[in-house]
Structure 1
Amino acid sequence: MEVAPDAKLLTRLLAGCAVGTLLLGVAGCGSDADSTAAPSEAASLTAAAPGSPAAPVSPAAPARADRSAGVTKVVVFMVENHSLVQMRAGMPKVYGFAARHAYATDYRAIRHPSLPNYIAIAAGSTLGVADDADPSAHRLTGNNVFRQALRSGHTAKVYAESMPRRCALTNSGRYAVRHNPWTYFSASADRAACKKYDVRAGRLARDSRAGSLPNVGFVIPDIVDDAHDGTLAQADAWISRQIGRLTAGPDWRAGRLAIVVTADEDDSRSGNKVLTVVATKDQPRRAVATPLDHYSLTGFLEDVLHVRHLRHARTAPSLAQAFGVKVG
């Protein structure tokens, strides 16, 4: 019996789908590729436990096969005054996220107290700052990653929780200006940019949904949610909630976003060694033993911007190389 032409075509199509599924591992005909995706990172954050098995330690992560064009955006979350050991034990959701992606086992802050470390990340140097005084006492004019981003045609933004207005230059309630590095750069162009792009933390979720996260971004929790006055459990809850919003957004799903979690400094009892997470969507799971510091983070931000490294970032170990992060 002769099969009708339409039936022959259908038979060939079905056979082709079966072969494609067997050879390529692709979904069957008519299915949406996203429908077979793994559960979202946002959902898995809630299931993290402090007893998660440690990732294998390695001095450097080899680059893995390309799945995206590379990282073009970095968002840095800051925790206050806790060591690697304390953060690993007291922040189970964030550490669970770290263990599923990658984190450093020998990453150190620069000095004490807080402010010099924020300036170090932003400028590749403490610029002589050795205390926690307000911007009125430290009118810094040197080059910095925010200026580098904007001058190179990229974007930069700080998301500060509990800040009363954009680029607030004094403490207010739970907002600590010493944790907001952009406010310390007082050159006219820096100040104008700060007033435009140093915003309240509520803007983060909107930018993530829109795929408009900045190339250089900092998320500054207030003094309760960064564990300065609050607990590590409070910091864990707040930061993991924000991470969930980022991993649900198009920048993360496209593989162009790196999420960093670090602490400004430890509690002065652990050699300034702090937990530092560097996570990308397509990253191998590992713990990185390469010695790194805040100047390595400065260099990573500048790598993403494709600009020259500032000051101590020029000689700091490469964070991108240590973690095997492909920069777009």
Structure 2
Amino acid sequence: MLFKSIVSLALVAAAAAQTAIKGKVFDHIFIVFLENTDYTLAASDPALQAFISQGVLLDKYYGVTHPSEPNYIAAAGGDYFGMNDDAFYAIPSNYTTIVDLLEKKNLTWKAYQEDAPTACYRDFQNNGLYFRKHNPFIIYDSIATNATRCANVVPATQLQTDIAAGNIPNYAFYTPNMINDGHNTTVADASKWLTSFLPPLLSNKSFINNTLVVITFDETETYKIENRVWTMLLGDVVANFKNTTDSTFYTHYSLLSTVESNWDLGNLGRQDANATVANVFDVVAKSTGYTNQNITNPPLMNGTEPGFLAPTPTASPTSTSTSTSKPSSADALAAPKVMAALAALTGAFAALI
């Protein structure tokens, strides 16, 4: 009995320590990525317009490159390392992510993935609805090859279970499937899904308690224009700023710098530490003492900077970001791409027989 009592007290103390972790502005952040839509098209969608009265519109928020996959890994790791396609990649385990910073402060995290069949699902796609390229956490081997971490990359059905159990992570990244995110459909389909998915969460007191919700798109559909994407901040954290517009220059790197500033996490030493492209969301910067840069003529953010994931890197004069990652051997790039090629050949052969 004494042993059981000691164990129970230890568990209670551990739980209390966890709930005691507070952010300067928010205790939870919930990020949702939609797909491939020019700002003007998203801004003209009536269903998306309806959310403006409920939060803060960020009308100068940018993706960081093209196509989709590098935007996702940049949002999790502070760089896209020269990646310029949507192939199968496995970034070496010595490359850190936001997960490393969160875990150092004992903060919890999860990546919710629609139509992923299992936790830690590492294949390229599932039933044409889930795709690895939209799941940045599984692309980093520091997560994918660590069983404890990888268990936090879960099917999206786990979200309701976590809410019901009061196990809402401090940091959550939600990826809709290829239909709901607008990739294989239209922005009208994506906004219709969002209108069904989001309001129940925003009205759920267990979920929304001191939570910042970020809705954004990964990139523009048109590559030659500025990579400006429609982005909203919602939740009780922005209750005093409803129906306002913030025209500060932000990028996907701001997702990192905002989280880092909120919990004093430090940074990854990549573009999340580049003040020019990683302004902290103003609603957070005001309370954390962070000074944002006044960028009056934002770069287009539609080029590709060199890095170890680009076999033939080409620098763009329109992008301001500079990769700070260490180069890797050609084998580190070749192996994942060979795997993707073999998988494609196997699928083609299977279709023939």
User: TM-score, structure 1 length as denominator?
Assistant: 0.72
Change (3 A) 1:213 1:260: same
Write the distance in 2 (CA, Å) between the matches of 1:205 and 1:238. Answer: 17
Percentage of pairs with the same residue: 25
2:252 pairs, out of 281, 294, 315, with 294
Match of 2:183 among 202, 214, 228: 228
Moved more, 119-128 or 183-192: 183-192
TM-score computed with the length of structure 2 as normaliser = 0.67
Counterpart of 1:123 in structure 2 is: 77
Equivalent pair of 2:144/2:150 in contact (CA under 8 Å): no
| SS of residue in 2 equivalent to 1:85 | helix
Structure 2 distance, partners of 1:252, 1:69, is 18
* Residue 219 in structure 1 maps to residue 180 in structure 2: no
Once the two structures are superposed, residues 164-183 of structure 1 have per-residue CA deviations (whole angstroms, 9 ceiling, x without a partner) of 21122221111111000001
- Larger mean CA deviation between 101-110 and 307-316 belongs to 307-316
CA contact (8 A) 2:24 2:262 kept: no
Change (3 A) 1:193 1:234: farther
Task: Give yes or no for the alignment of 1:176 onto 2:131.
Answer: yes
How far 1:142 sits from its partner (Å)?
Answer: 0.9
Structure 1 residues 270-309: aligned runs within 5 Å: 270-281=225-236, 282-285=239-242, 286-309=244-267
- 1:72 partnered with 2:31: no
Q: CA 1:153/1:291 → structure 2, altered by over 3 Å: closer, same or farther?
A: same
SS of residue paired to 2:130: coil
CA contact (8 A) 1:215 1:304 kept: no
Structure 1 distance, partners of 2:177, 2:57, is 24
CA drift at 1:163: 0.8
Unaligned runs of 5+ in 1: 1-67
Q: Distance in 1 between matches of 2:101 and 2:285?
A: 24
Contact 1:278 1:323 in 2 (8 A): no
**Residue 63 of structure 2 is aligned with which of 87, 97, 109?**
109
RMSD: 2.3
Which residue of 2 is the match for residue 241 of structure 1? 196
1:211–1:249 CA contact under 8 A, matched in 2? no
Instruction: Provide the residue aligned with 2:281 in structure 1.
Output: 320
Q: What does residue 88 of structure 2 align with?
A: 134
**Matched-pair contact (CA < 8 Å) for 1:205–1:242:** no
Provide closer, same or farther for how the CA distance between residues 188 and 280 of structure 1 changes in structure 2, counting only shifts above 3 A: closer
Contact 1:76 1:260 in 2 (8 A): yes
Contact 1:208 1:245 survives alignment (8 Å): no
Distance 1:71 1:322, change over 3 A: closer
Post-superposition offset of 1:194: 4.2
In terms of Rg, which structure is larger? 1
- Once the two structures are superposed, what CA deviation does each residue of 1:52-83 show, in whole Å capped at 9, x if it has no partner? xxxxxxxxxxxxxxxx9731111100011102
Residue 240 of structure 2 aligns to a residue whose secondary structure is coil
Instruction: Give the paired residue count.
Output: 257
CA gap of 1:133–1:278, structure 2 versus 1, over 3 A, is same
Greater relative contact order: 1 or 2 (C-alpha under 8 angstroms, separation 6 or more)? Answer: 1
Distance 1:206 1:89, change over 3 A: farther
Contact 1:205 1:245 in 2 (8 A): no
Q: Which SS does the other structure have where 1:187 is aligned?
A: helix
Residue type of the alignment partner of 2:53: A
What is the identity, as a one-letter code, of the residue corresponding to 2:271?
H
